[in-house]
Amino acid sequence: MITLYPKRLFKAPVDAQCIAPDIFAEKSVSEIAELQIWEGNRKRALDQLFKIECNAKNQSEEMTIRILGDARKVRRIGTKMSIGKVIIDGNIGMHLGEEMQGGTIVVAGSAGSWTGCMMKKGIIQIKGDAGDYIGAAYRGSTHGMNGGEIIIQGNAGNEVGCFMRSGLVRIDGNVGQFVGMHMRNGTIIVQGNSEGRTGAQMIGGKIVVCGHTPSILPTFTVDSIKPKVKINGEIVKGPFYKFLGDLAENGNGKLFVSQNQNPHLKFYEKYLE
Amino acid sequence: MTQLIVKNGIVYDPLNRIDGEKMDLAISDGKIVGKADEKKAKVIDASGMIVMPGGVDIHCHIAGSEVNAGRLLRPEDHFRDVEPKTAITRSGVGYSIPSTFTTGYRYARMGYTTIMNPSMPPLEARHTHEELDDTPMVDKASYPLLGDWWFVLEYLRDGMIKECAAHVAWIMVATKGYAIKIVNPGGLEAWGFGQNVRNIDDPVPHFNLTPKEIIRGLCKVNKLLHMPHAIHVHTNNLGKAGNYATALDTMKCVENLALEDKPVIHITHCQFSAFKGSNWRTLRSGAEEIANYVNHRRHVTLDLGQVVFTDTTTMTADGPFQYGLYQLTNNKWVNHDVETETSSGIVPFRYRRKSYVHSIQWSIGLELGLLVEDPWRIYLTTDHPNAAPFTTYPRIISWLMSRNARDLTMKRINRRARHKSLLPSIKREYSFYEIAIVTRAGQAKSLGLTQKGHLGIGADADIAIYNINPELVDPSRKYKVVRKAFENTAYTIKNGEIVAKDGKIAKPVCGKTFWVNPQLSSPIEVADDMKRRFREYWTVEYENYSIPESFLTASAPLSVKAEV
């Protein structure tokens, strides 16, 4: 296991694409220390910014990187990683696990925006809150999260799963607006409340909101009331209003919204008779 | 006085009929000369390397408002392809629509030194020239879009060819244009009213004029003005099944305007105009019919518009076509009506191997390239970035030069398309001499650029030296070596200076901007009526419309004596 301690609280953003198990795996400690990293517009070596500590490597152990300390300005950790584990004991910055292809990332604190954007495989687990665009596509692109799993135990920001194509996003807390915008496929489950505009322009996939939501977009049509929803074999108890949409896009996405938490949506029931 | 000698290179210079001869080239003051002072000159040892004139690209969308809108539309295209700055070059981004500086650098690295920006709405000329000025390393020019320009339509409707010629001469000077570009004649005007024209005899709404009359009229104008290039035509019905008939009609309609050997019409990105069949499912290749026609006539030149399977951005002035493409892909899109002049559209597009239609398109391009016998009349382009970015040229060269390379790609395309393709029956493989024709000599000849595309004495010293020995490498089997060699030159020489070496920019230079300055018998006059209409219909006043020559960083006017 390799442990990195930030030497100070960074003021400028640090672009740390090099901190990924795939890159560390083939290198000795001295080579790792020399990896190039950007602090603002300055090129640095990794050991100028982080104290590097290497525990004796156990052959059977998978490559693990641990970051201890506040790294909220450190971006792009685990970019394109496909193996191993990254453990972050503290907060972390934007673009965590960008285009991830496998492995695991665990964050004890909070993560920034764009966490798991365009990821294909692997697991990201965040014990604190996360920012906007979780599992989203890069600006302009239509290829969002395409597999894997993101678990956020706190709250998340806006546009979770934008252009999502596959995989699972699980949020235990509340979310902002536009959950599952442009969604093509995959699943998003929100245990807390949503701020609304859920599933705007979604074409396929499944969104479950277990908490309160102010309203449903007018381009969604109510389909039925379901007592429960199944997600990857796991049952989430309802009852739920099931909506289909987004009809403005000829979409066939499924949106489940808790019946008990949303008494103001009762008027939809008359369309079901 | 800078002097340069290129020693022992294997020279391919088709315009001077030099086919792979080992010889030395002397350069002095940016021109090819007979002899240089060996003591003073810098010597480049090109032994075992191919020496060709600098590449010429007859059709590539690299500048202007349309390209810029494409850049704005596609941040994801930039994010995938980033070039950091170096001590002498600027940074840049973009795979299918690179930023201006990067465009110049990439062309220079491939050995291209002259490129033509083919669609410039006259209203956007100022913007286009500003971007062209920021495109380093290459000489360039731009074709104004005239096929749907109101004044031209009116003159042609009234049969006033001479007045129309004088008007076109004014536009060439006002916009600093190089050739007459016609895009979907009549169709773009109709598109302003949500309509399109279906064939070349379908009248244009509100003008009582057919596309055929527009093409023939502008062809006559082109002849009267003695323009260096023929009319540059993007046919009606582009990108629709069964449109090869329209392409043939378009070529036929100017057949009797042909003079001796000089081509009078250039059908651009012909691949998109060579579809047979009645819908996408029954789509087949019309390349054979087009090649047959072209092989028996002398008045047509073509360029390929070869598809490469990749992610790219389509952009043309053909608004209705782009609308169709948007409906097909449901992707994000831009559509724009340029006042009274033309329209435009942009849609990101991905050509997929597994798609039947895309595979057929890929096949059509190569079939055209191989079935048209005379390489002087078919040129290698991708209609950058419509069918693929220009950086894919080396791959297309390897397909043209090697049957094995074609077979290999063939194995990976859509199965149904593979069975329909004519390619397995075509044995032809291009030689390096023919490649030199389709990538430089032929295009320079067609464009009337007498200083470009050859290495004769007095020509501009634009030279590309590729690190590949034609005596040792069999391009048919070693197509990968060919492709690699054409990706980066060993040396690119522009105006007698080494500007790129081993795939790296050695010296950034600014190229010239060519434009045509027709010399009429009486000075060009602009009628008061037209000035009035500028005031009424344009957002830009007549006084601000013309671009002064001083606006161009390196202006290179080409005077032609007109018959008007």
Does A138 contact B73 at a Cβ distance shorter than 8 Å?
Answer: no
Domains plus CATH for chain B? 3-53+455-505 (2.30.40.10), 55-447 (3.20.20)
Chain B residues in contact with A139 by the CB 8 A cut-off are: 75-76, 79
Q: B335-344 pLDDT, tens per residue? A: 988 888 888 9
CA–CA distance, B195 with B323 (Å, rounded to integer): 11
CA–CA distance, B129 with B257 (Å, rounded to integer): 32
Q: For A218, phi and psi rounded to 5 degrees?
A: -65, -15
B91 close contact with A: CB closer than 8 A: no
Instruction: Name the minimum distance, in Å, from the CA of B76 to any CA of chain A.
Output: 5
Does A142 contact B73 at a Cβ distance shorter than 8 Å?
Answer: no
Does A138 contact B74 at a Cβ distance shorter than 8 Å?
Answer: no
- What amino acid is encoded at B261 in this protein? D
Chain B residues in contact with A138 by the CB 8 A cut-off are: 75-76, 79
Nearest CA in chain B to A144: B76
Instruction: Name the minimum distance, in Å, from the CA of B231 to any CA of chain A.
Output: 37
Q: So what's the pLDDT on residue A57?
A: 62
pLDDT over threshold 80, residue B313: yes
Please, are residues B66 and B119 in contact by the beta-carbon 8 Å criterion?
yes
Nearest CA in chain A to B331: A142
Nearest CA in chain B to A203: B330
**In the numeric block, which tokens belong to residue B203?**
């009248």
Instruction: Grade residue B302 by pLDDT with cuts at 50, 70 and 90.
Output: very high
pLDDT over threshold 90, residue B557: yes
Q: For B70, phi and psi rounded to 5 degrees?
A: -60, -40
CA–CA distance, A170 with A162 (Å, rounded to integer): 14
B76 close contact with A: CB closer than 8 A: yes
pLDDT over threshold 70, residue B563: yes
Does B75 contact A138 at a Cβ distance shorter than 8 Å?
Answer: yes
Chain A positions touching chain B (beta carbons under 8 Å): 137-142
SS3 B227: coil
pTM for the whole structure: 0.92
Q: So what's the pLDDT on residue B347?
A: 94
Residue B53 neighbours by CB under 8 Å, 6+ apart: B13, B15, B436, B440, B441, B444, B452, B453, B454, B455, B459, B462, B463, B464
**In the numeric block, which tokens belong to residue B307?**
């598809």
Helix (H) or strand (E) holding B551: none
Determine the average pLDDT of the residues in A75-79. 94
Q: For B254, phi and psi rounded to 5 degrees?
A: -110, 10
Instruction: Name the minimum distance, in Å, from the CA of B158 to any CA of chain A.
Output: 47
Q: Please give the C-alpha separations between residue B91 and each of B75, B428, B436, B463, in angstroms, as whole numbers.
A: 16, 41, 31, 25
Closest CA to B460 of B397, B392, B509: B509
For chain A, domain boundaries: 110-272
Instruction: Grade residue A58 by pLDDT with cuts at 50, 70 and 90.
Output: low
Nearest CA in chain A to B330: A249
Chosen for mutation from B76, B91, B346 (greatest number of chain A CBs closer than 10 Å) is B76
Chain A residues in contact with B331 by the CB 8 A cut-off are: 142
CA–CA distance, B155 with A243 (Å, rounded to integer): 59
**In the numeric block, which tokens belong to residue A157?**
């920001």
pLDDT over threshold 70, residue B421: yes
Instruction: Name the minimum distance, in Å, from the CA of A114 to any CA of chain B.
Output: 15
Instruction: Grade residue A56 by pLDDT with cuts at 50, 70 and 90.
Output: low
CA–CA distance, B189 with B397 (Å, rounded to integer): 37
More confident residue, B339 or A218: A218
Please, are residues A97 and A80 in contact by the beta-carbon 8 Å criterion?
no
CA–CA distance, B167 with B174 (Å, rounded to integer): 10
Chain A residues in contact with B74 by the CB 8 A cut-off are: 140
Nearest CA in chain B to A138: B76
Instruction: Grade residue B46 by pLDDT with cuts at 50, 70 and 90.
Output: very high
B331 close contact with A: CB closer than 8 A: yes
Instruction: Name the minimum distance, in Å, from the CA of B388 to any CA of chain A.
Output: 18
Instruction: Name the minimum distance, in Å, from the CA of A137 to any CA of chain B.
Output: 9
SS3 A164: coil
CA–CA distance, B21 with B25 (Å, rounded to integer): 12
Does B331 contact A139 at a Cβ distance shorter than 8 Å?
Answer: no
B77 close contact with A: CB closer than 8 A: yes
Nearest CA in chain A to B73: A140
pLDDT over threshold 70, residue B1: no
Chain B residues in contact with A140 by the CB 8 A cut-off are: 73-77, 332
Does B331 contact A138 at a Cβ distance shorter than 8 Å?
Answer: no
Q: B354-390 pLDDT, tens per residue? A: 999 999 999 999 999 999 999 999 999 999 999 999 9
Instruction: Grade residue B411 by pLDDT with cuts at 50, 70 and 90.
Output: very high
Closest CA to B384 of B74, B65, B107: B107
Q: So what's the pLDDT on residue A60?
A: 62
User: What DSSP state is assigned to residue B542?
Assistant: H
Point out the residue among B73, B76, B332 whose CB comes nearest to the CB of A138: B76
B193 close contact with A: CB closer than 8 A: no
Does A138 contact B77 at a Cβ distance shorter than 8 Å?
Answer: no
pLDDT over threshold 90, residue B258: no
- What amino acid is encoded at A105 in this protein? I
- Region of B261 on the Ramachandran plot (φ > 0 left; ψ -120 to 50 alpha; else beta): alpha
Chain A residues in contact with B72 by the CB 8 A cut-off are: none
Instruction: Name the minimum distance, in Å, from the CA of B313 to any CA of chain A.
Output: 13
B96 close contact with A: CB closer than 8 A: no
Please, are residues B462 and B493 in contact by the beta-carbon 8 Å criterion?
yes
Instruction: Name the minimum distance, in Å, from the CA of A26 to any CA of chain B.
Output: 26
Does B331 contact A142 at a Cβ distance shorter than 8 Å?
Answer: yes
Query: Exposed/middle/buried for B539, CB within 10 Å: 0-12, 13-18, 19+?
Result: exposed
Does B77 contact A140 at a Cβ distance shorter than 8 Å?
Answer: yes
Chain A residues in contact with B76 by the CB 8 A cut-off are: 137-141
CA contacts within 13 A on the Cβ side of B293:
21
Nearest CA in chain A to B332: A140
Q: B422-457 pLDDT, tens per residue? A: 999 999 999 999 999 999 999 999 999 999 999 999
Instruction: Name the minimum distance, in Å, from the CA of A43 to any CA of chain B.
Output: 13
Instruction: Name the minimum distance, in Å, from the CA of B338 to any CA of chain A.
Output: 25
Chain B residues in contact with A141 by the CB 8 A cut-off are: 75-76, 79
B82 close contact with A: CB closer than 8 A: no
B74 close contact with A: CB closer than 8 A: yes
B73 close contact with A: CB closer than 8 A: yes
Q: A164-201 pLDDT, tens per residue? A: 999 999 999 999 999 999 999 999 999 999 999 999 99
Per mean pLDDT, which range of B190-204, B330-344, B523-537 is the poorest? Answer: B523-537
Q: B482-524 pLDDT, tens per residue? A: 999 999 999 999 999 999 999 999 999 999 999 999 998 888 7
Residue B419 neighbours by CB under 8 Å, 6+ apart: none
Instruction: Grade residue B210 by pLDDT with cuts at 50, 70 and 90.
Output: very high
Determine the average pLDDT of the residues in A134-149. 93
pLDDT over threshold 70, residue B123: yes
CA–CA distance, B326 with A67 (Å, rounded to integer): 47
